[in-house]
Structure 1
Amino acid sequence: MTLPYAEVIGDPIAQSKSPLIHGFWLEKLDLAGEYRKTLVTSDGLAEFFARRREDPDWRGCNVTAPHKQAVLPFVDDRGGVGDSIGAMNTIIREPDGTLIGTNTDAAGFFGPIADLDLVDQKVVVIGAGGAARAVLFALSRCAVGPVTIMNRSPMPAAALLAKFGLKGNVVGLDAPLPAASLIVNASTLGMVGAPAFEPDLSAQRSDCIVYDIVYSPLQTGLLAAAEERGLETIDGLEMLVGQAAVAFELFFDAEPPRQYDDELRELLLRWS
């Protein structure tokens, strides 16, 4: 007897903690199921989805870098995610083999800052990829003030400001970090195997919040610099667990037991 399963795909994928999270919840709920991680290259996406579409045990997958935009042509977009966010991080298989794409990153990102009053506040976002799209989508719903996007290429970043109706500007990654109420690293900078990102935070006020979605390592150079200055920080586990909770319910038709979040966090920290 085979078990229903879901997985996370990306390239690289070894750093993913998603199997720990979903496995923890499956065990707590005593649910029959598995959650795996699978290396899928950009050239292998079409074959991957063709095979999974025919597998009745496959419930779906989460999608991490660099595939969050590349998966759009392979799935149905019933929620208009392609138009609204332009990136997907969750694919669900229906019983007839139809693949439905959605995005749980925006909800996962927003959870830790839901109680903040960000209306008209200055925000800095680093990156303009799939994760940044979810971040900017969420911020656009908060009526934030001017947004500065820091990115290697100015054109994609400027296009995102226009797409989400945000006022602001675009600067290069080597530009001084402007003062802001919220700084979000929505790129892979600082991740294991990626270039470091340790900007000068001297221009930031004492009430600035620094949010890094990178979770491997958990203590990034950006967060270390923020803590050295006494700034409030939000690490990548917050968004990771938040987006996973939404995906888990879609995959396994069960609400994740969030009352065990402290225990889950301890587990994830041991595997950092």
Structure 2
Amino acid sequence: MSKDEEAAPAPLPDNAYAEVIGSPIEQSKSPLIHAHWLKELGLAADYRRREVGKDGLHAYLAEKRVDPAWLGCNVTMPVKLEAIRLADEATDRAVTTGAANMLVPRDGKIVAGNSDVGAVMLLLARLHEAGRPMARIHLYGTGGAARAVLVAAASLGHNGIVIHARDVQKAVKLAVQFGLAYAPVPLDTPPQGDGIINATPLGMVGHECLNCDVSGLGENGWVFDMVSAPVETMLLKAAKAKGLGIVDGIDMLVEQAASSFELFFGQPPKRADDEALFARLRS
């Protein structure tokens, strides 16, 4: 057997598919991303979306355990925390984050993983390399996405984070757990610092933008909004008007999807045509 044959990915099962689950799920752009990469690689597989809430996750997993065509799923709100509880095993990042954004079948078990952490690390590193300051970062939220930010920031050595939360006491526990330099504040407190990361649904279609004030950020400041529908949220519009650096939810969605894709389909996506993919996602 040649080296090329030895290195070839394992064949996919008949009718192979992965999917994204959550509620609501209609707005998810994940199927478009994965379909693009599947076509680029010529893989005979599918990627779907399915409405699954907290009450339905247990039944969903029971169904998938006996489906040989199921390659796994991405997990979005509101089941990221529930997903790690119901999985048989979890990766270190999922455990540290306390949330899963993907579930993958492995050797008869369902393993919870978290590719959000790696995506946030990559995007924060890009901001840093572009000369954006990170001494004081304002993080909106305390859920699974916010926890991924905290794990990523800790890995990069950034602890100058102010958590903005509806439940400040919950945020205090996270601040202590991650050794943050600043005390948490209520969600609508105006930020004063270098950057903002929105890890909440605020600004998403159907959700108000509770805190879109960017006046307290410096001229070299930046905004990273994880919301991907709409692509340009009110928070990002405010940042754009001030000439700040911007990372949008599409950036986040694509980078976390790339790691998930390789786990689901056995090989990394081709990224050479990502410019066309980003154009479609932002249109």
What's the offset of the Cα at 1:120?
Answer: 6.7
How far apart in 1 are the matches of 2:26 and 2:171? 28
Q: Which residue of 1 aligns with 2:225?
A: 212
| Candidates 150, 161, 165, aligned match of 1:151 | 165
Number of positions where the alignment pairs a residue of Structure 1 with one of Structure 2: 268
How far apart in 1 are the matches of 2:94 and 2:227? 24
How far apart in 2 are the matches of 1:168 and 1:255? 39
| Candidates 218, 222, 230, aligned match of 2:243 | 230
Which residue identity does 1:47 align to in structure 2? Answer: A
> Could you list the runs of 4 or more consecutive aligned residues of structure 1 that deviate by over 4 angstroms after TM superposition?
117-120
Q: Which residue of 2 aligns with 1:97?
A: 108
Which residue identity does 1:124 align to in structure 2? Answer: H
Q: Which residue of 1 aligns with 2:7?
A: none
Q: Which residue of 2 aligns with 1:42?
A: 54
| Candidates 224, 242, 247, aligned match of 2:255 | 242
Q: Which residue of 1 aligns with 2:118?
A: 107
> What whole-Å deviation, never above 9, does each CA across 1:179-231 have from its counterpart, x for those lacking one?
x2221001110001112245222221101111101110000000000111111
Query: Structure 1 pair 269/245, CA: closer, same or farther in 2 (3 Å)?
Result: same
How far apart in 2 are the matches of 1:150 and 1:254? 38
Q: Which residue of 1 aligns with 2:269?
A: 256
Q: Secondary structure at the match of 1:141?
A: helix
Which residue identity does 1:65 align to in structure 2? Answer: M
How far apart in 2 are the matches of 1:235 and 1:119? 18
Q: Which residue of 2 aligns with 1:61?
A: 73
What's the offset of the Cα at 1:82?
Answer: 4.6
Q: Which residue of 2 aligns with 1:21?
A: 33
TM-score (norm 2): 0.90
How far apart in 1 are the matches of 2:215 and 2:41? 46
In structure 2, stretches of 5+ residues that fail to align are 1-12
In structure 1, stretches of 5+ residues that fail to align are none
TM-score (norm 1): 0.94
Which residue identity does 2:119 align to in structure 1? Answer: G
How far apart in 2 are the matches of 1:133 and 1:183? 15
> What whole-Å deviation, never above 9, does each CA across 1:229-253 have from its counterpart, x for those lacking one?
1111111111100000000000000
Q: Secondary structure at the match of 1:208?
A: strand
